[in-house]
Amino acid sequence: MSVSLSTPISSLMMNKRRVSALKSLGLITVGDALTYYPFRVTEPVALRALREAHAGQPMAFAAQVRQVRVVPMNARRGFRLEVMVDDADFARTRNVNDTIARLVFFSGKRQYIDWLSARMHSGADVVVAGEPTEFNGQLQFTHPEVLTVDPDSRDSEESGSVRPGDEAQSRGGAAMRRIYDADSEEEALRRVCRPRPVYHATSRISSEHIHEAILGFLDLLRDSSAGTDGDAENEETRTGVVGVDAASTDTSRPADAVPAGSADAITAADAAADASGTSPDIAALRQAVPDIVPESIRDVHALMHRAQAFLAIHDPQSTKEFHQAIATLRYEEALVSQTAVLQSRQHARQTQAHACVDGSLRDMFIASLPFKLTGGQREVIDDIAADMAQSYPMQRLLQGEVGSGKTVVAVAAMLQAVGAGYQAVLVAPTQVLAEQHYQTISAMVNGDSMQVAVTLLTGGMRLAARRKALAQAASGEPGIIIATHAAFSSTFQAPNLALVVIDEQHRFGVEQRESLRARGELTPHLLVMTATPIPRTAAMTWFGDLDISWLTELPGGRKPIRTVVVPEADARTMAAMFAHIRKRLDAGERAYVVCPRIDMDEDADGAGDAGEDGFEAFDDGSDDERAQAAASRQSGRRGQGASQANGSGSDGSEPMAEPKPPLHAVAEIVQRLQSLPQFEGVAFATLTGRDDDATKAQVMADFSSGKTLVLVATTVIEVGVDVPQASCIVIFDADRYGLSQLHQLRGRVGRGGTDSWAFLVSRAEPDSIAAQRLEVIHHSLDGAEIAQADLELRGAGDVLGDTQSGVKSGLKLLRVVKDVTIIAKARADADALLDADPDLSHAVQLAGAVLDFTRGGESQIVSS
């Protein structure tokens, strides 16, 4: 059959369990599988004789099987296979004395043990790779990788011995011939010593099985391109693809003896993966995998062809080759993304927008302000005015520190649109923030000198009020509309819309933003605002189609917020903190207390998916630990027989780290604080994402008026909540937050010109990564510095919000912070390409990749 990158995996594999497991990883087509990159590669395994073994240091050696014994495990269900081997011939080649070692395998399935013992029968030649240990004074390898070697490779044709893939089974039901994993000892040693890619796996499928499947797809692409589909039985045995799984046809191995993803499958999967044959021919593979990067650019940067890079990543001959392939595909992602954003910028310049030239209303507003604009505000307002005077749409990102005065800039821009006779809409992520904007902006633009219509539109409004707001917008009369997600509804129509302002852009998806801009005949100008700190280089990468402005100067009267890290185990410091807060409350001020969870009965470990209030527990574990934790959550405590014997996790991996303590909840902290003598007589209120809009509005009104002095909330208060009297904020489990989110939460205080404090309550161990992370925000108020540290620790998707990536992130290797140089080169190359060939008619593959990237809603880069 013909196989291409778009061929569904389900049409190539009849093992539905394996297909389903791959699908759970997002692997639907062959192309998906080839771009499922390993997160690391193992170092080459050293060749050593058994006499040269060092405990804990992986090694490989050749040996002969001397004894095989199957022992039932009475203490727990299952069997233990013990294989005694000696390395007499191999040790002689290394000029050392030979010795004996024990290979041990555990399994709850007798079929699997029988299959292994048949492969490693007495007298068999084997090559073994694993980590040596000592047990009862004897050298032992637990679940090593084992390849069987043809004992007479020189006369293989006469002896009838064949390798997997040469002839799995004679036709007509003839007896099965013995199958060996390698023709020679040298070949087997070369294969087990080679670097191995390691993939993110789950309890449903192991890294080895993922590797096996991808190697099979590479073989099929090569064979299909060469015009030789091959014998179906041949393909079935070698790769487990082309319509059937290997285990179901190879009668030397019992069907379903090794379930996908089980610890028992590791050795068998390695052997099957290695049995997939020699490296595919590059020339044939190039025909099936066309390159995306134009050859001229590839030559300049000394990059691999895409087909060669896929092969070097999934079947590396050396770690150097692996990293060269990673660099090639990383550059490919940079070129595709930068070409996409530059094309988007070009296309925007070709559309028509309302030219808003009259700035008299804007100037009147600025003159009426009771304070003087900062130099940064004045400069940004002028830049926006110049952009909105053009007949093509403005596309500008305004990044500003918390409290830097972005709202005033946005109002000035909206009044320029209104003064020119058009409408402007400001979209806020929450009803609380929208209502605050409505009150603030209405007061700003309605006074003795001017009267501007301001309309509020939210999903929580009563039907009559909502219809009235929709009718006002549909009338097309000049004015300002403040809206929530209701602006994205098909019922919202603003025929004279000239400006769209998106507040806190990371709370909205790209598709939502673009749908609002595509409503009218003319494209409205776009102003995107964010207080989430983004380093300049990262912002230029994510928002390459936007002009970028920064507000770094705080308005006069603002005092720096004092940040204190408080160990929760330090009772004296905790008591002093609460006493200090009580003094501030008695002085007429307010305090926030932030918790990551709503109820105490939520998921105890706090990790995993983001909650409804936008908090996602920060995980300081390694990639391997995170994968193990995910697998553990799915598989529970099953499969402990062989795993416990090895001291490993349920998937055969290393033991998992101790679980983190449960996160604090709003309900728990309210009870705890109300019982403290420091808060006797103090009124508390709570605010979470589960509260309805009316409740949220009432809670905030009571907190602002002083009816309640302490607000215990989730991160729902992170954005836009403005209570000038608030001078203290306590953040529980601060060590589990990202730095950008902590910086945003800290910005809820210090807005009234009074001294303010942020207390970060932590359970992190001293000198741990979490403790070091908190030191960053403890010593810095610089959002750019904090953002840089956050990006390096968390990655781009976590900092900006997953919705920013659209439907699915197509960038898997590019790192926004570390790969700035690569991105800059790719941007220059993309610019030159588009100048010479705006439609990319001479770079068809690149044009197709850019189109796929754009269709995915990814006009911004998000690194995984």
733 phi-psi bin (left φ>0, alpha ψ -120 to 50, beta other): left
Residue 691 CA to residue 697 CA, distance in Å, equals 10
Tokens of 316: 């590396």
User: How far lies 44's CA from each of 130, 277, 505, in Å?
Assistant: 12, 19, 46
Say whether both 359 and 476 belong to one domain: yes
Q: How many domains does the chain have?
A: 5
Higher-pLDDT residue of 171, 705: 705
Q: What percent of the chain has pLDDT over 70?
A: 75
Cα distance between residue 477 and residue 690, in whole Å: 36
Q: Which of the given ranges, 259-273, 695-709, 786-800, has the highest pLDDT on average?
A: 695-709
> What tokens appear for 166 in the block?
């040469």
DSSP assignments along 194-251, one per residue: S--EE---BTTB-HHHHHHHHHHHHHHHHHHHTT----HHHHHHHHS-SSS-HHHH-T
Supply the pLDDT for residue 281.
66
Determine the pLDDT at residue 474: 93
Q: Find out whether 575 and 678 touch, Cβ atoms under 8 Å.
A: yes
In the numeric block, the tokens 């009426």 are attached to 368
Q: At what angle do helices 406-419 and 360-368 cross, to 10 degrees?
A: 140
Asked if 587 and 636 sit in the same domain, the reply is no
Check if the beta carbon of residue 359 is closer than 8 Å to that of residue 385: yes
**What is the spatial distance between Cα 272 and Cα 165, in angstroms, rounded to a whole number?**
11
pLDDT digits (tens, 9 = 90+) for 565-598: 999 999 999 999 999 999 999 999 999 999 999 8
Which pLDDT score is estimated for 510? 54
Question: Which range (7-11, 93-97, 255-259, 724-728) has the least confidence?
Answer: 255-259
Specify the DSSP class assigned to residue 179: B
397 and 294 together in one domain: yes
More confident residue, 596 or 433: 596
For strand 79-86 and strand 59-72, is the pairing parallel, antiparallel, or unpaired?
A: antiparallel
| 86 has pLDDT over 60 | yes
The per-residue b/e assignment along 364-373, b for 16 or more CB within 10 angstroms, e otherwise, is ebbeeeeeeb
Question: Backbone phi, then psi, for 142, in 5-degree steps?
Answer: -100, 120
Indicate whether 804 belongs to any domain.
no
Q: Report, as an integer, the average pLDDT of 615-641.
A: 44
Of 179-183, 219-223, 268-272, 396-400, least confident by mean pLDDT is 268-272
pLDDT (average), residues 693-704: 87
Identify whether 845 is part of a domain.
yes
Q: 755-814, pLDDT tens digit by residue?
A: 999 999 999 888 888 888 899 889 888 776 777 776 666 555 444 443 333 333 457 888
What's the mean pLDDT when you consider all of the chain?
79
> For residue 554, is pLDDT > 50?
yes
49, 207, 59: which is closest to 144 by C-alpha? Answer: 59
Q: Give residue 232's pLDDT band: very low, low, confident or very high (50, 70, 90).
A: very low
Q: Which is higher by pLDDT, 451 or 268?
A: 451
CA gap 87, 851 in Å, rounded: 57
Q: What is the pLDDT of residue 261?
A: 32
Q: What is the pLDDT of residue 159?
A: 44
Evaluate if residue 848 carries a pLDDT over 70.
yes
pLDDT band, residue 498 (cuts 50/70/90): very high
Q: Are residues 526 and 487 in the same domain?
A: yes
Question: Is residue 651 within 8 Å of residue 201, measured between CB atoms?
Answer: yes
Give the ranges where 371-525 is alpha helix by DSSP (H): 375-388, 406-419, 431-445, 463-474, 510-517
| Residue 707 and residue 586 share a domain | yes
149 inside domain:
yes
Residue 287 CB contacts under 8 Å (≥ 6 apart), including other chains:
225, 226
Q: Is 844 helix (H, G, I), strand (E, B) or coil?
A: helix
Q: Contact 557/753 with Cβ under 8 angstroms?
A: yes
SS3 content of the chain, % helix, strand, coil (to 5): 45, 15, 40
Reduce the DSSP state of residue 590 to 3 states and report it. strand
Q: Which of 193, 215, 249 is the last residue of a domain?
A: 193
Top pLDDT among 401 and 149 is at: 149
For residue 803, the one-letter residue type is T
CB-based contacts of 682: which residues, under 8 Å, 6+ apart?
A: 582, 585, 709, 710
Instruction: Report which of residues 657 and 736 the model is more confident about.
Output: 736
Q: Which residues of 305-338 are buried (b: 16+ CB within 10 A; e: fewer)?
A: bbbbbbbbbbbbeeeebbebbbbbbbbbbbbbbb
Contact 354, 837 (CB under 8 A): no
pTM for the full predicted model: 0.62
Domain boundary among 736, 753, 780: 780
Q: Which DSSP string do the residues of 596-613 spell out, in sequence order?
A: SBS-TTS-TT--SS--TT
Domain residues for the domain of 219 are 9-41+199-233+261-286
Query: Strand, helix or coil at 426?
Result: strand
Q: How confident is the model at residue 861 (pLDDT cuts 50, 70, 90)?
A: very low
| Short-list 780, 776, 723, CA closest to 748 | 723
pLDDT at 711: 95
> Which tens digits make up the pLDDT trace of 18-36?
999 999 999 999 999 999 9
Let me know if residue 14 belongs to a domain.
yes
Q: Which of 322-326, 541-545, 666-670 has the lowest mean pLDDT?
A: 541-545
How confident is residue 530, by pLDDT bands cut at 50, 70 and 90?
Answer: confident
Residue range 393-417: average pLDDT? 88
Asked if 102 and 53 count as a contact pair (C-beta separation under 8 A), the reply is no
CA distances from 648 to 198, 271, 634, 642, 643 (A): 17, 21, 16, 9, 5
Query: Is a pLDDT exceeding 80 seen at residue 15?
Result: yes
CATH of the domain at 694: 3.40.50.300
Per-residue pLDDT reduced to its tens digit, 703-746: 989 999 999 999 888 765 778 899 999 999 999 888 878 888 88
Q: Which range has the worst mean pLDDT, 190-194, 223-227, 403-407?
A: 223-227
Model confidence pLDDT, tens digit, residues 35-78: 999 999 988 999 999 999 998 899 999 999 999 999 988 767 88
What would the two tokens of residue 331 be? 């550059």
- For residue 512, the model assigns a pLDDT of 57
* 500: β partners: 425, 526
Please give the average per-residue pLDDT across 696-706, as a whole number: 89
* pLDDT, position 160: 44
384 vs 356: CA distance, rounded Å: 11
DSSP secondary structure of 679-718: GTT--EEEE-TTS-HHHHHHHHHHHHHTS-SEEEE-GGGT
Q: What local confidence, expressed as pLDDT, does residue 356 receive?
A: 95
Question: In which band, very low, low, confident or very high, does the pLDDT at 555 lie, cut at 50, 70 and 90?
Answer: low
Q: Do 36 and 148 sit in the same domain of this protein?
A: no
Say if residue 173's pLDDT is above 60: no
For residue 396, tell me if it sits in a domain.
Answer: yes
How many other CB atoms sit within 10 Å of the CB of residue 461? Answer: 18
Together in a domain, 307 and 443: yes
Q: Are residues 470 and 521 in the same domain?
A: yes
108/110 Cα distance (integer angstroms): 7
DSSP code for 735: G
Q: What is the mean pLDDT of residues 119-147?
A: 92
327 forms beta bridges with: none
Q: What is the pLDDT of residue 601?
A: 65
pLDDT value, residue 623: 43
Strands (E), 411-561: 423-427, 454-457, 479-483, 497-502, 525-530, 547-551
Please report whether residue 225 resides in a domain. Answer: yes
Residue 433 resides in a domain: yes
CA–centroid distance for 828 within its chain: 27
- Mean pLDDT to the nearest integer, 805-827: 71
Tell me the residue type at 594.
Answer: V
Is pLDDT at 542 greater than 70 in this prediction?
Answer: no
Tell me, yes or no, whether 838 and 742 share the same domain.
Answer: no
On whether both 597 and 538 belong to a single domain, the answer is no
Q: 656, 678, 709 — which closes off a domain?
A: 656
Whether residue 258 is predicted with pLDDT greater than 50 in this model: the reply is no
Residue 188 sits in the same domain as residue 335: no
pLDDT over 80 at 91, yes or no:
yes
Q: How far is Cα 789 from Cα 803, in angstroms, rounded to an integer?
A: 22
What region does 565 belong to: left with phi over 0, alpha with psi -120 to 50, or beta? beta
Residues 6+ apart with CB under 8 A from 399: 529, 530, 531, 533, 534, 539, 548, 549, 550, 551
Buried b (16+ CB within 10 A) or exposed e, 252-275: ebbeebbebbbbbbbbbbbbbbbb
Closest by CA to 421, choosing from 525, 522, 523, 498, is 498
3-state secondary structure of 676: coil
Confirm if 709 and 590 have CB atoms less than 8 A apart: yes
Pairing status of strand 757-762 against strand 525-530: unpaired
670 pLDDT tier (thresholds 50, 70, 90): very high
Predicted pLDDT of residue 505? 57
CA proximity to 62, closest of 121, 128, 117, 139: 128
456 belongs to a structural domain: yes
β-strand pairing of 479-483 with 423-427:
parallel
- Are 737 and 618 within 8 A, CB to CB? yes
Whether residues 342 and 466 fall in one domain: yes
